[in-house]
Amino acid sequence: MTATTAAPAAATTTSTAPSSVGSARATAGRLPIRYVLLETRRQLRNVKAMVFTFAIPVVLLLVFGAAYGGQVDPVTHLPFLVVTTLQMTAYGAMMAALSQAFSLVTERSIGWNRQLRVTPLSGWAFLVSKLVAAMAFSAVSVVITFAIAILGMHASLGAGHWAAAGLGIWAGVVPFALIAILVGQFAKPAYAQPLFMVVFMGLSILGGLWVPLSVMPAWMGSIAHLLPSYWLNRIGQMGAGATGSAGMTEPALVLVGWTVVLAAVIVWRYRRDAARR
Percent of the chain with pLDDT over 70: 77
Highest mean pLDDT among 26-30, 76-80, 169-173: 169-173
User: CB–CB of 154/66 below 8 Å?
Assistant: no
- Tell me the pLDDT of the chain averaged across its residues: 79
3-state helix, strand, coil in the chain (%, to 5): 80, 0, 20
What local confidence, expressed as pLDDT, does residue 160 receive?
94
Residue 260 predicted with pLDDT over 50: yes
In angstroms, the CA 229 to CA 57 distance is: 15
Residue 223 predicted with pLDDT over 70: yes
User: CB–CB of 115/7 below 8 Å?
Assistant: yes
User: CB–CB of 144/60 below 8 Å?
Assistant: no
What local confidence, expressed as pLDDT, does residue 237 receive?
93
Mean pLDDT to the nearest integer, 34-45: 72
What local confidence, expressed as pLDDT, does residue 149 receive?
93
* CA distance from start to end of the chain: 27
What local confidence, expressed as pLDDT, does residue 246 receive?
66
What are the pLDDT digits (tens) for 63-99? 887 776 678 888 888 988 999 999 999 999 999 888 8
Tell me the backbone φ, ψ of residue 214, rounded to 5 degrees.
-65, -20
Residue 179 predicted with pLDDT over 60: yes
Q: Which long-range contacts (CB under 8 A, 24 or more apart) does 116-120 make?
A: 116/10, 117/270, 117/273, 117/274, 117/277, 118/14, 118/277, 119/10, 119/13, 119/14, 119/17, 120/17, 120/23, 120/24, 120/25, 120/27, 120/28, 120/30
Model confidence, pTM: 0.79
Confidence of residue 113 (pLDDT cuts 50, 70, 90): low
What local confidence, expressed as pLDDT, does residue 47 receive?
67
Residue 240 predicted with pLDDT over 70: yes
